[in-house]
Structure 1
Amino acid sequence: MDTRQLRTLVAIAEHGTFARAADAVYLTPSAVSQQMHALETELSVALFNRETRPPTLNTHGLQLLETAHSILHMVEDTKSALLGQRKTGTLSIGSVRTSTIGLLPRAIVALRNNYPGLRINLRVGLSSSLIADVQAGRLDMAIVAEQLGIPQNLVWRPFIREPLVVIAPPGTPDMSARDMLETLPVVRFRSNVPLAHLIDMELARMGIVTNETAEIDTISAIVECVAAGLGATIVPNIAVREYSEKFLIRPFGEPQVFRQVGIVQRVSSAKMDLLEEIHDQLAVLANDFGVPRTSVEHLPT
């Protein structure tokens, strides 16, 4: 087994057919087929369902594909480190759909401007799959909220610690956060993510029962609904920091509740300097709520 075969396997998975994969890796279709047959012979297992057209990866093939991603990532990191070219190549970033994702494009642009030879790929997904992809080497880092279950071979570094606030539509009479939540219709953040659980737990602890008028799973859409007058809601401060004069805003929680978002990465990486730089960019962009990079933090498991 060699990296050429693994790159071909990855190309087949990405492009769907041997012919298109051949174009991607600059081989003929017959050479691609020979590489895959040689790989199957060496491993003594079939990697493809050949009763389908085009052939598709079977369970063994999918398992090897995950290993191939990890090995090729490691090879690229090692080559870059040995050649002193850590600021070239590809930086693969994942992010959950968080209100802080608005900071990420600016941090990426700053990094790209500093290192024109660096390619940066961004993918948005669920925290569980992003963490698994970092662990497997398919991603260099992922932005996720503070949560349980970070594997021991990964580290999590917060770059923002921000308060949660209750917001009500423009023109709402002056009132407390509790009164806003108990007397106004409430647009609920409905999603299976740590932020939603944090909000629900504090509401229960405070004994607040809300009159829900809508359930929405993105913070940006919720803010738009409140701006249109649909009701009050609870959001991270960063979601409304550009609209501080537009809404009635009050602290949420007794005492006020904060949430953290940070970067998950492998313990060691040849791209560590880039990961630290993008962390620093995000912390600066978070303004008063930025968390400076001081020490590696493990989440509880």
Structure 2
Amino acid sequence: MSIRHFRTLLAIRDHGSFSAAGEAVLITHAAVSQQIKALESHWNVVLFDRRPRSPQLTPLGRAFADRAETIVRAYDNMLVEISDEAGFAGEIGLGAVPTTLTGLVPLAVSHLKRKHDKLHVVIQPGLSTALLQQIDRRQIDAAVITRPASLPRGFTFHEIATEPLELLAPPQTETDDPMFLLRHYPFIRFDRNAIVGQMVETWLQAQKIAVQESMELEDLEAISSMVMANLGVSIVPQRCVSNMNPLPVKHITLGVNAPSRQLGLAWRSDSGKSKVIKAVHQTFCDAVADGRFSVTI
């Protein structure tokens, strides 16, 4: 019997099935079943009602899972609570939306590594919704995301920066009127699977602008390159940290009613790495204060 068995039980409770729990804790469905049977045998209890197609926790099983969660959290936090440096010599899994990968993230992580050289940072790119799911399944510890309309229960979100949306236009355009450009130039759309893409679509509809859509991309560097090649205009977040050697495209404000995205760090409130994650958040805020990623960092 080990803490691993309790983690598997909690994964079933949180994800709703043995199969989903296996994916979350990276073991097979058969291994999940074996671990639950071992728990039931060891404690001489019935944790699941197996009559439904998908086994359901019994009332005793739910109470048992609640107590198991307390034990797992205490185990995860044990070293952190007695040592100021605990966690800074291990690994942290950090998700990041693609728009932050060429400016904010490299600058912040370089600062973080200077302060905590034994901390191993693993970066996982992804869209905000997918990254939140990975945090929930404990596949990563935290993520830099665009704040959604509502956060999942049990999550903490600390703001890093507010980025207004702006229009990118080719340098050879003769006007800086965003409404004219949006109506008369091909439109390079930000991926609608991303929260930013949905914000763009909502704003366009509110302004009653029918764009001439030419392509849909999620990578800010790719979008900038397409605009530079005079293939259209696009609406994207204004970077809170400039990357090295930016393309000389036009950056045009959308006006006083321009939407903004709130960029921040999200993590599970019960994470055993909260102290490290809060230090990561502060490092990201420091990077925003610097404002530019360059070779002189």
How far did residue 184 of structure 1 move?
A: 1.2
The question of whether the paired residues in 1 share the 8 Å contact of 2:161 and 2:264 is answered with yes
Q: Of residues 240, 265, 270 in structure 1, which corresponds to 2:267?
A: 265
The question of whether the paired residues in 2 share the 8 Å contact of 1:163 and 1:256 is answered with yes
Question: For residues 221 and 180 of structure 1, do their structure 2 counterparts lie closer, same or farther at Cα, with a shift above 3 Å needed?
Answer: same
Aligned with 2:101: secondary structure? helix
Question: For residues 276 and 77 of structure 1, do their structure 2 counterparts lie closer, same or farther at Cα, with a shift above 3 Å needed?
Answer: same
Question: For residues 190 and 126 of structure 1, do their structure 2 counterparts lie closer, same or farther at Cα, with a shift above 3 Å needed?
Answer: closer
How far did residue 196 of structure 1 move?
A: 0.9
The question of whether the paired residues in 2 share the 8 Å contact of 1:159 and 1:263 is answered with yes
The question of whether the paired residues in 1 share the 8 Å contact of 2:98 and 2:218 is answered with no
Q: Which residue of 1 aligns with 2:99?
A: 99
Q: Which residue of 2 aligns with 1:194?
A: 195
The question of whether the paired residues in 1 share the 8 Å contact of 2:164 and 2:237 is answered with yes
CA-to-aligned-CA distance 1:153-185 (integer Å, 9 cap, x gap): 222111011121111112221331111111111
Q: Letter of the aligned partner of 2:284 in structure 1?
A: L
Distance in 1 between residues matched to 2:226 and 2:240, nearest whole Å: 13
| TM-score between both structures, scaled by the size of structure 1 | 0.69
Q: Which residue of 2 aligns with 1:284?
A: 286
How far did residue 251 of structure 1 move?
A: 0.6
How far did residue 261 of structure 1 move?
A: 0.9
Identity %: 25
Distance in 1 between residues matched to 2:287 and 2:168, nearest whole Å: 23
Give yes or no for the alignment of 1:174 onto 2:175.
Answer: yes
Distance in 1 between residues matched to 2:287 and 2:230, nearest whole Å: 30
Give yes or no for the alignment of 1:212 onto 2:200.
Answer: no
| TM-score between both structures, scaled by the size of structure 2 | 0.70
Equivalent positions of 1:112-191 (< 5 A) are: 112-191=113-192
Q: Of residues 243, 246, 254 in structure 2, which corresponds to 1:252?
A: 254
Question: For residues 14 and 289 of structure 1, do their structure 2 counterparts lie closer, same or farther at Cα, with a shift above 3 Å needed?
Answer: same
Q: Which residue of 1 aligns with 2:12?
A: none
Aligned with 2:239: secondary structure? helix
Distance in 2 between residues matched to 1:249 and 1:270, nearest whole Å: 42
How far did residue 260 of structure 1 move?
A: 1.1
How far did residue 273 of structure 1 move?
A: 3.5
How far did residue 191 of structure 1 move?
A: 2.4
Q: Which residue of 1 aligns with 2:16?
A: none
How far did residue 217 of structure 1 move?
A: 2.9
Larger mean Cα displacement after TM superposition, 114-123 or 191-200: 114-123
How far did residue 255 of structure 1 move?
A: 2.1
Give yes or no for the alignment of 1:275 onto 2:277.
Answer: yes
Distance in 2 between residues matched to 1:195 and 1:168, nearest whole Å: 18
